[in-house]
Amino acid sequence: MKTRTDSKVRIRRAGRRIFLPLLIFPLLLSLQACKESSLYPYKSDKGEKGITIEDVYGVEWRLEAFEEWEGDQVGQSNIPPAEQVYTLTFQKDGGSGTNHCNLYGVEYKTDGVDGISFNSFISTKVYCGDESLDQTFSDAILNAERYQIGESTLRIFYEGNRRALFFKKVVAEPITLMPLELVNFAPSVPFSTSQPQINGDLLTVQVQYSGGCEEHKFSLVGPETIPSGDPTPITLYLQHSSKPDPCLAYISNDLTFDLTPLKERWKQVTGKSSGEILITLNDLHGGSVTGLSWKIN
C-alpha cells in the first residue's frame, strides 16, 4: 500500500508491513488474502449489481474516505477529520447533503447501468476554514463518472475511476411515538442545535453541548395523536440526557432520526398517501426550530 503525506487528511493504513525475512513470502500471501477480510472492512463491500440510485431514495450516506485506486483495488484511503461531515442523499428530483459547514443541493443524471453525472451544485457560502475539504468534496461530486452501491456502502468514482468517494449508509434511530397529551417531559440537559434538515424520511440535526466524561444520549419523540391541518403541524421533542458531566469540552455531533413510524401513523390517521407535514423541533429547554417542511410520498 502506498501512502503519501497530506496536511488536510488523515491516512488510514490497513496493516503493518514489518516482516521477518524468512516469513516474507507466506505473509505476503496472507496479506493479500486479508485485503478482502474484516481487517479491510471498507474494501470488502464492492457493490452489488442491480442496486440502483432509485433503490436508495431517501437514504443518507456519510463520507468515510477519499479513495485512490490502483487497478481494481483501493491503494490509499484518506480519511476526513472527524469534525468534518460530508453526506449525500438522493431523491427523485436531485441530491442534497452536508458539505462540512455548508448545506448543498445538486442535480444528477444516471446513464446506463452505473453511469452518473452531477451538475448545478448549489451551496450555502459559510467559510469552513483553511483545513476544510469542502472544495475537494464538491469537485469530486462534479467530476463523478459512475457509482457502485453495496448493502451498506456507496462509491462514486471520478477521474477515470482512479479516485472514489467512499460512503457508508447512516443507520438512523427511529422516532418514538407517544401519547404526548399524557406525558410531562422533564427539562433536557442544555444543548444547542443547528442545521436541521429533512431528506427523504430522515431528520438530521447537529447538536452542541459541553461534556466529555459521561455518555450523552439523544432521542426524538413525536405524537401518536395527529392534528388536523394542511400542511399538518406536528411538534417533535429532542431529548438530551446524561449523568452530571464534570468535563467542559465543546462537543458537536450529527444526529440522524428515522421518521418512518410518524409517516405511517400520519397515513393511517389521515387516510392520505401523500402530503406535507410542517415540523417544529423543540429541544425541551426553551429553544425550538420551526418551519421544517417534510414531503410525504
Tell me the three state secondary structure of residue 151.
coil
Q: For residue range 222-280, what is the model confidence (pLDDT) as tens digits?
A: 999 999 999 999 999 999 998 888 888 777 777 889 999 999 999 999 999 999 999 99
Task: Note the pLDDT of residue 49.
Answer: 56
d(CA 224, CA 177): 5
- Residue 187 vs residue 116, higher pLDDT: 116
Q: How far apart are CA 168 and CA 21, in angstroms?
A: 38
What is the model's pLDDT at position 287? Answer: 84
Task: Please say if the pLDDT value at position 1 is more than 60.
Answer: no
User: pTM of whole model > 0.75?
Assistant: no
**pLDDT value, residue 3:** 41
Whether 46 has a pLDDT exceeding 80, the answer reads no
Does pLDDT of 83 surpass 90? no
Q: Are 90 and 53 in contact (CB under 8 A)?
A: yes
Distance CA 82, CA 9 (A): 10
Question: Residue 84 pLDDT more than 80?
Answer: yes
pLDDT band at 34; cut points 50, 70, 90: very low
- Beta-carbon count within 10 A of 32 CB: 10
Query: What DSSP state is assigned to residue 190?
Result: P
d(CA 293, CA 275): 10
The DSSP letter of residue 254 is E
How far apart (Å, rounded) are the C-alpha atoms in residues 223 and 176? 8
Mind listing the domains of the chain with CATH numbers? Answer: 10-29+45-169 (2.40.128.270), 173-296 (2.60.40.3220)
Supply 225's cell numbers: 395523536
Model pLDDT, residue 286: 82
User: Residue 55: what are its φ and ψ, rounded to 5°?
Assistant: -75, -15
Q: Give the mean pLDDT of 29-39.
A: 37
- Paired residues of 87 in beta bridges: 62
Quote the cell numbers at residue 282.
Answer: 423543540
All three cell numbers of 233: 403541524
* pLDDT tens-place string over residues 129-188: 899 999 999 999 999 999 999 989 999 999 999 999 999 998 889 999 999 988 888 888
Closest CA to 65 of 114, 137, 150, 119: 137
- Over pLDDT 90: what percentage of the chain? 53
DSSP helix/strand/coil, 66: strand
Query: What does the chain come to in residues?
Result: 297
H or E stretch at 262: helix 260-270
The Cα 273–Cα 92 span in angstroms is 17
Torsion (CA) 251, 292, 185, 268 in degrees, nearest 10: -130
Half-sphere exposure of 10 (CA within 13 A, CB side): 9
pLDDT at 33: 39
CA neighbor of 232 nearest in space, from 174, 184, 295: 295
Residue 47: the pLDDT is 52
Q: Are 105 and 95 in contact (CB under 8 A)?
A: yes
Helix, strand and coil in the chain, % to nearest 5: 15, 45, 40
